């Protein structure tokens, strides 16, 4: 019996647990007819979006699959193993399908759990929290379950980590589109609903008169649930694959699979034990659950290491990754928390207007990148040297060292089941709050959903920090995997910063995340402009809507439609641009240029991801702080200024920022997949 | 007779011409008593700021000079040439003094030329333009004159390029403080004047009732004239020094001096021939002047290369730099020009509020970094390979190649006399406009100053692009010089991207520009808050001020004082932080970490410099476009939204953005100066 069999077993266990939770949620009551009706609109809108998105993506996936079948791992006309091309192509489709499926399932359960959470809030915080969190857990456990099962199947059948790379590419490519499309959708709706509703007409958030309100709720599901799940799944898979490739030369392919399996066990235990006592604090419960999962994971991997006789330095690298993840999460929390100085100062400057609110929030966002980046740097340095020492005497110092960096990335990501669960909890309770307000539930019930929602925001800051930190280490591992693959192809290059070809690559690379982020944000801007006009039109033209006359309803479906069409139109160019630019740099400048390009995009990608996520979160909470009564409270001039900051932060934190992780993962995977081909055929080598 | 004697001769010629222009300006009429009075307030405020700033900086300079005398080039107790320490220390003081002097002279003439330009506007555009531009030319020619004279003296006396490095460090350190302090001052005043005056009370810009209006005018002088001049002087000197160090091993120390001298000749000719015909376009005249200077420079350096027998590939590298500078300038112009799509689109989105204006402008700013960064990358690649070929056969390929990159940087910067002249023209005519309005000159006269001011903005975009591009190539040359110096110290390192120590350096390095920018912007925010309160207080407490009753005057001096004290308080921490962080990384992590750190800071420094300058310029012009009547014109909702964008852009484009150039230059110089010491003593090598 091989040890890696732990992976598929725990994966299947994870899927079973998530199925059990799914049934539990389905059994709950959906409340009044009005509530069910609203929930149905949200569900319908979400499904419609995903259907249309997947239809477009299917064309893309099939096209790429055909290209893979022809060109990868090596062009079919010169390959000595043409069957590998077919396998790679199938693995790719498999990866894309699994990623799509995980996104769909998560969204499906989220759009069921939202209304049930709202209804359970009538019975108190405890029950409602439990349903909301279990909804998130279905997403979390199915994401890791399907991901690890997929990897196990591809690896079990082919025993070839390079083909697992194809699986990973499929998952990541889909994640990139899902994240970008969902991110544009959600912020289009959010900004439009806020600008016309809150700012112009001064009606509350989630007011049923607002034509954009359903689209806004749909956005939470397609952006935050389906998108975020796909994003973390893609980092998770990529980190495992990177370590498998790095471990290949050391005969360590199976260690990452074993450790991933243990991560699932830790996540299941974490999910099972989480609860909020009477009068408990749900935010604290979520964070405690995350910490508990980390501790369980550390213990399990230690025991496994002794049992299987793995060198404890490898375990040390995992631990370093885990600790770094927690530290980065705490940093993000500091810079975005409603109780801390940065948010409060930013709220205070709102008294002098929107411009100073934005300057201040942006500045704290700039500060916030420092500890996280240094943390990632130190984690990679420590894990490198820990494992470097294993290799001394075997002449394999570098190989072990890079493997160590990969294991640190895995360490961060191994608890991803729990992370996704906490994360998906956010949009579910956000939706629950919306449904409670729109269906006119009592004040106390709405208050409970409000409390649940606030906890979601706290948890989100930490999980986002985790996600970005993990992506950072993962792409470093992928960079190393890219280097290893290039070496195997006979190109033994050093990425020397003083080499002008590497430098040119870096200069192009650092500009890519900027351009990508800009494309997505302009997409949001364009779309929001269209939708704002529509919302204004409805308020102007539908008699009685503004005053909320009985029986008058806005045309929700039109807003859902505008957001859907717009998001689908804007999602392709940015994502295709990133992939094409990567290939162009490779085939023109060769491996060295591509190495520089990847590094540059990683550096600036991480920087912007942190900057945008943190400043966005900070602006959001600065507004909430004012709404809680500070500096004049709701409706004051300071509040108006803070709303502008929050709106600027929306595409920062929910569209561009989190997409950048996925972007750099996809770019790294594309590079690694094409490394052999690029090494052979590139313009610069022909000159 | 040695060829490099061209440098001091042309430098002295440049100083003489600028002195002649200074006398010309002094001879012009200052207009009415009211105009003289306003001009005197501005002059007094500017002088007061500079005096206080220089007093603080003197303490800093003397402290550092003493440290240099003890530690550099090598600690006095182990040095075999302790006299070098004294020389280095003197060269440093010399550099700081020259830089300070150039800043002072430029500001002095600017605060004289402003009122004379305003007065000359009565006689028409032609005369006014001529005075405004010549005022800028005094600054431009004295900056290059003093800089090159200083270099020539230090080199002539010591014949040691390493000591010229001390001179360069002195100039750069002063520039960093001048840029940061001036930048904070100018935007504190600008934001406060705008927010209370334009936004809250709806009175025009430069309205004499506004207590912050004199401080605002002072800010133009201390920020844009003294600061910008110091900034470009520092890049200019650093590029020459870097090339001297890189050329040392090739026996080419004098080529950069010759080429710099020719650049001065080209600038003098450019300055002398510039004019705007009747009904001419002053913006076009400025740009034509810049292009003409470039052409003259290209011809002169070609002739000199043939005459002195320099390899024409070196000339080619210079040409590549020059062309890249122009292209980057044109790109900046595209993204910020009032006639182009990005600005107009941003203006249009203002219809949907401030948030969308900011998202859109920021997005175009993110786009704008792409062509410039790629341009810098290509320029360095081409110049590298051009000169690489000279070295083939001598075993000096890399040495020649890096020398080539340095010459490309020099190519961009050689016309800096003309660039600074166009640039300093901006704040002079801006001031002239302010004086014309405050002293109640006729409508047509104010219109003429308005036209002159608009031309200043056009010219500014191009010169800023030049400045940033040049800084990019200069720091690359400095990075190479750092590497060369480290090699001479016996540390032959490769900055390998896969080396975790290099990586850690990079991760810290990329965060430094963010933190630095944040510190400056928060400084502006804090200061502006204080000043806004004071302005509001004066409007509330001084009877008749709001209504503009005859004889009622605000307390200008108090606002000037607040801006001064605040800027001085905020300028030290950021600048000292940058220097200390550099030394800390070096002495802890060693040469490899420092190399990574420098590279990281260069990459992200350039990126943020471009992003902030361009988006800031764009927001400014989007507002101007609306003010010209589009989308509802002045006072409309769109205009209010655009004003928020403009205010956010203020510290972007005039405080943080341009300071980042200087920051990375100073960091590179510090690293190069300390390279030998760090190679010997660092924590990592002790472990």
Asked if A97 and A83 count as a contact pair (C-beta separation under 8 A), the reply is: no
Closest to B647 in 3D by CA, of B180, B189, B49, B179: B189
Contact A480 B502 (CB under 8 A): no
Closest to A356 in 3D by CA, of B93, B192, B34: B192
Instruction: Report how far residue A568's alpha carbon sits from residue A180's, in angstroms, rounded to the nearest whole number.
Output: 9
Touching B: A residues 3-22, CB under 8 Å: none
* Dihedral sign, Cα of residue A14, residue A19, residue A23, residue A26: positive
**CA triple A239-A243-A245, angle to 5 deg:** 120
pLDDT at B622 exceeding the cut of 90: yes
pLDDT at A530 exceeding the cut of 60: yes
pLDDT in tens, B284-323: 888 888 889 999 999 999 999 999 989 999 999 999 999 9
pLDDT at A1: 57
Instruction: Report how far residue A570's alpha carbon sits from residue B368's, in angstroms, rounded to the nearest whole number.
Output: 20
Count of H-run helices and E-run strands, chain B: 20, 0
pLDDT at A461 exceeding the cut of 80: no
pLDDT at B124 exceeding the cut of 60: yes
Asked if A595 and A496 count as a contact pair (C-beta separation under 8 A), the reply is: no
pLDDT at B450: 86
pLDDT at B180: 86
What integer is the mean pLDDT of B147-169? 91
pLDDT at B661: 86
Contact B511 A607 (CB under 8 A): yes
pLDDT at A317: 94
pLDDT at B361 exceeding the cut of 90: yes
Average pLDDT, chain B: 88
pLDDT at A463 exceeding the cut of 80: no
Name the 3-class secondary structure at A496.
Answer: strand
Contacts 24+ apart (CB under 8 A), B72-76: B72/B166, B72/B673, B72/B674, B72/B677, B73/B162, B73/B673, B73/B676, B74/B676, B74/B677, B75/B677
User: What residues are paired with B496 via a beta bridge?
Assistant: A496
In chain A, the percentage of residues whose pLDDT exceeds 90 is: 39
- As given in the structure block, the two tokens for residue A559 are 């807003």
Of B500, B511, B607, Cβ closest to residue A514: B607
What integer is the mean pLDDT of A410-438? 88
Instruction: Report how far residue A430's alpha carbon sits from residue A649's, in angstroms, rounded to the nearest whole number.
Output: 18
**To the nearest whole angstrom, how far is the Cα of A75 from the nearest Cα of chain B?**
29
pLDDT in tens, A544-591: 888 888 888 888 888 888 888 888 888 788 888 988 999 999 999 999
DSSP A78-137: T-S-HHHHHHHHHHHHHHHHHHHHHHHHHHHHHHHHHHHHHHHGGG-HHHHHHHHHHHHH
pLDDT in tens, B319-360: 999 998 888 888 888 998 888 899 999 999 999 889 999 999
pLDDT at A472: 84
User: What residues are paired with A496 via a beta bridge?
Assistant: B496
Instruction: Report how far residue A264's alpha carbon sits from residue A251's, in angstroms, rounded to the nearest whole number.
Output: 23
For chain A, first and last CA: distance in Å? Answer: 53
**To the nearest whole angstrom, how far is the Cα of A7 from the nearest Cα of chain B?**
30
**To the nearest whole angstrom, how far is the Cα of B169 from the nearest Cα of chain A?**
23
Please report which confidence band the pLDDT of residue B15 belongs to, taking 50, 70 and 90 as the band edges. Answer: very high
> How far from A223 is each of A203, A230, A232, A413, B300, CA to CA, in Å?
24, 10, 13, 21, 60
Contacts 24+ apart (CB under 8 A), B300-307: B300/B262, B300/B265, B300/B266, B301/B259, B301/B262, B301/B414, B304/B258, B304/B259, B304/B262
- As given in the structure block, the two tokens for residue A3 are 């040890």
**To the nearest whole angstrom, how far is the Cα of B681 from the nearest Cα of chain A?**
20
What integer is the mean pLDDT of B248-260? 89
Contact A518 B373 (CB under 8 A): no
Please report which confidence band the pLDDT of residue A6 belongs to, taking 50, 70 and 90 as the band edges. Answer: very high
Touching A: B residues 386-405, CB under 8 Å: 401-402, 405
Contact B497 A495 (CB under 8 A): yes
Assess A524–B contact: CB distance below 8 Å, yes or no: yes
pLDDT at A208: 81
Enumerate residues 6+ apart whose C-beta is below 8 A from B246: B399, B402, B403, B406, B477, B480, B481, B484
Q: Which residues of A touch B320 (CB under 8 A)?
A: none
* Dihedral sign, Cα of residue B31, residue B37, residue B38, residue B41: positive
What integer is the mean pLDDT of A512-533? 91
Residue with token string 């020094």: B241
* Least confident window among A149-163, A189-203, B117-131: A189-203
Backbone angles phi, psi at A75, to 5 degrees: -55, 140
Q: Which residues of A touch B494 (CB under 8 A)?
A: 494, 496, 498
Count of H-run helices and E-run strands, chain A: 20, 0
Contact B607 A510 (CB under 8 A): yes
A86: buried, middle or exposed (CB in 10 Å: 19+, 13-18, 0-12)? middle
* Model pTM score: 0.92
Omega within 30 of 0 (cis) for the link into B133? no
pLDDT at A415: 87
pLDDT at A150: 93
B595 or A220, which is more confident:
B595
Omega within 30 of 0 (cis) for the link into A73? yes
Touching A: B residues 544-573, CB under 8 Å: none
Contact B518 A647 (CB under 8 A): no
pLDDT at B670 exceeding the cut of 70: yes
Q: Which residues of A touch B191 (CB under 8 A)?
A: 355-356
Q: What is the dihedral of CA A638, A642, A643, A648, to 10 degrees?
A: 150
Q: Which residues of B touch A505 (CB under 8 A)?
A: 377
pLDDT at B687 exceeding the cut of 70: no
pLDDT in tens, A244-285: 988 888 888 889 999 999 999 999 999 998 888 766 788 888
Enumerate residues 6+ apart whose C-beta is below 8 A from B152: B4, B7, B8, B11, B257
Q: Which residues of A touch B374 (CB under 8 A)?
A: 507-508, 511
In chain B, the percentage of residues whose pLDDT exceeds 90 is: 39
Asked if B189 and B44 count as a contact pair (C-beta separation under 8 A), the reply is: no
What integer is the mean pLDDT of A40-47? 87
Treating both helix axes as pointing N-terminal to C-terminal, what angle do B556-627 and A556-627 enclose, rounded to 10 degrees? Answer: 180
Touching A: B residues 362-381, CB under 8 Å: 362-367, 369-370, 373-374, 376-378, 380-381
Interface mutation target, options B497, B537, B650, chain A, most CBs of A under 10 Å: B497
Assess B341–A contact: CB distance below 8 Å, yes or no: no
Closest to A449 in 3D by CA, of A438, A434, A459: A434
Of A360, A510, A528, Cβ closest to residue B522: A360
What integer is the mean pLDDT of A176-185? 87
What integer is the mean pLDDT of A170-178? 88
- As given in the structure block, the two tokens for residue A106 are 């998560």
Instruction: Report how far residue A136's alpha carbon sits from residue B652's, in angstroms, rounded to the nearest whole number.
Output: 40
**To the nearest whole angstrom, how far is the Cα of B367 from the nearest Cα of chain A?**
5
B221 or A645, which is more confident:
A645
**To the nearest whole angstrom, how far is the Cα of B483 from the nearest Cα of chain A?**
9
Q: Searching chain A, which residue's CA lies closest to the CA of residue B499?
A: A381
DSSP A289-349: HHHHHHHHHHHHHHHHHHHHT--HHHHHHHHHHHHHHHHHHHHHHHHH-TTSHHHHHHHHH
Residue with token string 């029950």: A127
Q: What is the dihedral of CA B101, B105, B108, B111, to 10 degrees?
A: -120
DSSP A142-203: HHHHHHHHHHHHHHHHH--HHHHHHHHHHHHHHHHHHHHHHHHHHHHHHHHIIIIIIIII-P
Touching B: A residues 420-459, CB under 8 Å: none
What integer is the mean pLDDT of B94-107? 88
Assess B355–A contact: CB distance below 8 Å, yes or no: yes
For residue B667, the tally of other CB atoms under 10 A from its CB is 30
Closest to A631 in 3D by CA, of A623, A235, B664: A623
**To the nearest whole angstrom, how far is the Cα of A106 from the nearest Cα of chain B?**
30
pLDDT at A39 exceeding the cut of 60: yes
Of A369, A483, A643, Cβ closest to residue B498: A483
pLDDT at B677: 86
Enumerate residues 6+ apart whose C-beta is below 8 A from B201: B539, B546
pLDDT at B479: 86
pLDDT at A687: 66
Q: Which residues of A touch B402 (CB under 8 A)?
A: 498
Enumerate residues 6+ apart whose C-beta is below 8 A from B363: A517, A518, A519, A521, A522, A525
Please report which confidence band the pLDDT of residue B1 belongs to, taking 50, 70 and 90 as the band edges. Answer: low
pLDDT in tens, A592-607: 999 999 999 999 999 9
pLDDT at A626: 94
pLDDT in tens, A228-239: 778 888 888 999
**To the nearest whole angstrom, how far is the Cα of B117 from the nearest Cα of chain A?**
33
Please report which confidence band the pLDDT of residue A662 belongs to, taking 50, 70 and 90 as the band edges. Answer: confident
Assess A359–B contact: CB distance below 8 Å, yes or no: yes
pLDDT at B596: 93
Touching B: A residues 37-56, CB under 8 Å: none
Contact A352 B195 (CB under 8 A): yes
* Least confident window among A74-83, A508-517, B397-406: A74-83
The percent helix, strand, coil of chain A (3-state, each to 5) is 85, 0, 15
Assess A655–B contact: CB distance below 8 Å, yes or no: no
Assess A120–B contact: CB distance below 8 Å, yes or no: no
- As given in the structure block, the two tokens for residue B641 are 């939204």
- As given in the structure block, the two tokens for residue A5 are 């069999």
pLDDT at A7 exceeding the cut of 60: yes
Q: What is the ipTM of this complex?
A: 0.91
Enumerate residues 6+ apart whose C-beta is below 8 A from A282: A125, A129, A276, A451, A452, A455
């Amino acid at each position: 019996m091989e040890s890696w069999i732990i992976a598929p077993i725990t994966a299947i266990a994870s899927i079973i647990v998530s199925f059990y939770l799914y049934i539990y949620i389905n059994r709950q009551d959906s409340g009044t007819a009005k509530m069910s009706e609203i929930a149905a609109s949200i569900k319908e809108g979400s499904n419609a979006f995903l259907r249309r998105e997947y239809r477009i993506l299917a064309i893309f996936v099939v096209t790429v699959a055909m290209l893979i079948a022809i060109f990868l791992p090596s062009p079919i006309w010169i390959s000595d193993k043409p069957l590998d091309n077919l396998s790679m192509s199938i693995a790719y489709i498999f990866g894309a399908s699994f990623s799509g499926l995980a996104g769909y399932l998560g969204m499906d359960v989220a759009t069921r759990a939202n209304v049930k959470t709202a209804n359970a809030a009538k019975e108190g915080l405890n029950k409602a929290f439990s349903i909301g969190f279990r909804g998130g857990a279905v997403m979390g456990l199915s994401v890791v379950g399907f991901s690890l099962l997929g990897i196990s199947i591809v690896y079990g059948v082919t025993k070839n980590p390079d083909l697992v790379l194809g699986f990973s590419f499929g998952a990541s490519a889909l994640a990139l589109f899902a994240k970008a499309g969902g991110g544009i959708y959600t912020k289009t709706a959010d900004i439009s609903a806020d600008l016309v509703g809150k700012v112009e007409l001064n009606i509350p958030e989630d007011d049923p008169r607002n034509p954009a309100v359903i689209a806004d709720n749909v956005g939470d599901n397609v952006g935050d649930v389906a998108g975020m799940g796909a994003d973390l799944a893609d980092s998770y898979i990529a980190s495992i694959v990177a370590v498998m490739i790095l471990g290949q030369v050391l005969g360590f392919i199976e260690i990452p699979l074993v450790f991933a399996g243990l991560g699932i066990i830790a996540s299941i235990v974490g999910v099972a034990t989480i609860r909020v006592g009477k009068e408990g604090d749900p935010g604290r419960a979520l964070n405690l659950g995350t910490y508990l999962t980390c501790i369980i994971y550390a213990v399990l991997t230690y025991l496994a290491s002794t049992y299987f006789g793995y060198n404890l330095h490898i375990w040390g690298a995992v631990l370093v990754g885990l600790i770094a993840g927690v530290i980065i999460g705490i940093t993000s929390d500091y810079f975005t928390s409603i109780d801390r100085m940065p948010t409060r100062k930013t709220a205070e400057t709102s008294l002098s207007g929107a411009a100073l609110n934005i300057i201040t929030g942006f500045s704290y966002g700039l500060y916030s990148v420092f500890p996280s980046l240094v943390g990632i740097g130190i984690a990679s340095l420590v894990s490198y040297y820990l494992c470097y020492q294993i290799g001394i005497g075997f002449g394999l110092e570098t190989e072990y060292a890079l493997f160590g960096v990969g294991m640190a990335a895995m360490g961060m990501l191994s608890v991803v089941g729990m992370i996704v669960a906490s994360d998906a909890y956010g949009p579910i309770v956000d939706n629950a709050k919306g449904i409670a307000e729109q269906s006119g539930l009592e004040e106390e019930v709405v208050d409970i959903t409000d409390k649940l929602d606030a906890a979601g925001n706290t948890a989100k800051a930490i999980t986002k920090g985790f996600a970005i930190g993990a992506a950072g280490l993962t792409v470093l591992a992928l960079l190393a995997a890219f280097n290893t693959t290039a070496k195997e192809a006979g190109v033994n290059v050093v990425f020397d910063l003083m080499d002008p070809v590497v430098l040119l690559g870096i200069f192009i690379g650092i500009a890519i995340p900027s351009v990508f982020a800009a494309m997505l944000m302009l997409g949001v801007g364009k779309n929001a402009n269209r939708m704002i006009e529509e919302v204004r039109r409805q308020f102007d033209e539908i008699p009685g809507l503004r005053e909320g006359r009985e029986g008058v309803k806005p045309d929700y479906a039109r807003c859902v439609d505008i957001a859907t069409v717009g998001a689908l139109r804007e999602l392709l160019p940015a994502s295709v641009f990133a992939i094409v630019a990567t290939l162009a740099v490779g085939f023109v400048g060769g491996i060295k240029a591509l190495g520089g390009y990847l590094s540059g995009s990683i550096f600036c990608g991480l920087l912007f991801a942190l900057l945008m996520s943190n400043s966005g979160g900070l602006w959001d909470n600065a507004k909430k702080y004012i709404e809680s009564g500070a500096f004049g409270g709701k409706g004051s001039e300071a509040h108006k200024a803070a709303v502008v900051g929050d709106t600027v932060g929306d595409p920062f934190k929910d569209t561009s920022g989190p997409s950048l992780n996925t972007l750099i993962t996809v770019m790294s995977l594309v590079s690694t997949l094409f490394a052999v081909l690029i090494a052979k055929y590139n313009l610069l080598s022909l000159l």
